[in-house]
Amino acid sequence: MDRNQAHRNRKRGLKALHFLALFLTMSIICIPGLWIVLNSFRPTVEIMAKPAVWIPSFTLDHYRAMFGGAGEGGVPVLSYFRNSLIVSVVSTAIAILIGMSGGYAFARYRFRGKSSYFVGLMLFRAVPGVALSLPLFIVFAKVGIIDTHFGLILVYVALNVPFTIWLTDGFFRQIPKELHEAAEIDGCTRWQAFWKVEFPVARSGVASAAIFAFLTSWNEFALASQLTRSVGSKTMPVGLLDFTAEFTINWGGMCALAVLMILPALILTFIVQKHLIAGLTFGGVKG
């Protein structure tokens, strides 16, 4: 009996430790985000206060100002939001279409130079995007697509395709090839077999690839800050810069815009989270 009791106690103790470790880790991840949300609702004095004020007061001033006129600290939030949305959605859609086709080809077909091509794609990911900003700037300026949605979409598609290929390749690889063979025998063309059988089965994988691509485009700052400059094309991360002046930074306003930026990403992730988890664990098995 005693030994059982001791064993049970030890198990309980371990479980408590487990929770504590989890709590600490989650805090490290979440507190900066939480701080941004809190700061967006408190007056500037409180944000700048030293030592920090732990019990926040509540004001909507920053939001009011942000949506206000240009003279009162307002920024064209809706334009930025629209730009971000257009650029992210379109680039994600294109990246998924190209990436999925690529991933499928890598998973299903044998062709000359396949593995070196694949490695090449991954190497491309190793190039830091910012390093490309100057060449891109010059080329885009010459071609005349600087400061346009199109230019930014092009960059994000290029940025996202390799990762999408890598991710979807893993998913399609896990689908036994007999599935599309069965579909072809059942009367499908190769194309139908893909859309009616393989695509629905790999849907979670494609969904998680899409989320990643969307978040990359939605949050990307370095390249967008170089390639956009007018209200007509600036995305939200670039818009944050509007709150910096030569000598001051409007932290409250910046946090308020950041919250607006986080919200759609959060909602989207929440909607597809079921797919995302299924997708990530499914793809995770791949070595």
Partner 1 sequence: MSQVTLSNVVKYYGKSRAVHGIGLDIADGEFVVLVGPSGCGKSTTLRMIAGLEAISDGEVRIGGRVVNDLPPRERNISMVFQNYALYPHMTVRENLGFSLKVAKVDEAAIVRAVDEAAGILGLAELMDRKPAELSGGQRQRVAMGRAIVRQPDVFLFDEPLSNLDAKLRTQMRVEIKKLHQRVGNTIIYVTHDQVEAMTLADRIVLMQDGHIVQVGTPLELFNTPVNTFVATFIGSPPMNLIDGVVDGETIALDGGLTVPVPLQAQGRVQDGQMVHFGFRADNLMPEGHGVFEGGAVATLELPVILTEPLGTETVLFTEMAGTEVQAKMLNPRPVRPGETLKFQLMIDKCHVFDAATSNAIRV
Residue selected from 22, 97, 122, 185 as contacting partner 1 according to rule CB under 8 A: 185
Question: Which of 107, 157 has the CB closer to partner 1?
Answer: 107
* Residue-by-residue DSSP string for 25-84: HHHHHHHHHHHHHHHHTS-HHHHH-SSPPSS-----HHHHHHHS-GGGT---HHHHHHHH
Least distance between partner 1 and beta carbon 197 (Å): 6
Least distance between partner 1 and beta carbon 153 (Å): 32
Residue selected from 189, 230, 244, 281 as contacting partner 1 according to rule CB under 8 A: 189
Locate tokens 């695509």: which residue? 199
Q: CA–CA separation, 264 vs 271, rounded Å?
A: 10
Contact 211, 276 (CB under 8 A): yes
Residues 75-134, interacting with partner 1 (CB under 8 A): none
Kindly state whether residue 184 participates in binding partner 1, applying the rule CB under 8 A.
Answer: yes
Least distance between partner 1 and beta carbon 69 (Å): 53
Residues 191-220, interacting with partner 1 (CB under 8 A): 192, 196-197, 200-201, 203
Locate tokens 């409007």: which residue? 250
Contact 280, 255 (CB under 8 A): no
Question: Which of 155, 183 has the CB closer to partner 1?
Answer: 183
Residue selected from 90, 188, 268, 278 as contacting partner 1 according to rule CB under 8 A: 188
Nearest to 154 by CA among 207, 87, 233, 212: 87
Residue selected from 7, 122, 130, 186 as contacting partner 1 according to rule CB under 8 A: 186
Least distance between partner 1 and beta carbon 271 (Å): 20
Q: CA–CA separation, 244 vs 238, rounded Å?
A: 11
Kindly state whether residue 181 participates in binding partner 1, applying the rule CB under 8 A.
Answer: yes
Kindly state whether residue 176 participates in binding partner 1, applying the rule CB under 8 A.
Answer: yes
Nearest to 107 by CA among 171, 199, 184, 195: 171
Question: Which of 67, 282 has the CB closer to partner 1?
Answer: 282
Packed helices 203-219 and 77-108: angle between N→C axes, nearest 10 degrees: 140
Kindly state whether residue 285 participates in binding partner 1, applying the rule CB under 8 A.
Answer: no
Q: CA–CA separation, 234 vs 229, rounded Å?
A: 6
Contact residues for partner 1 (CB under 8 A)?
A: 176, 178-179, 181-189, 192, 196-197, 200-201, 203
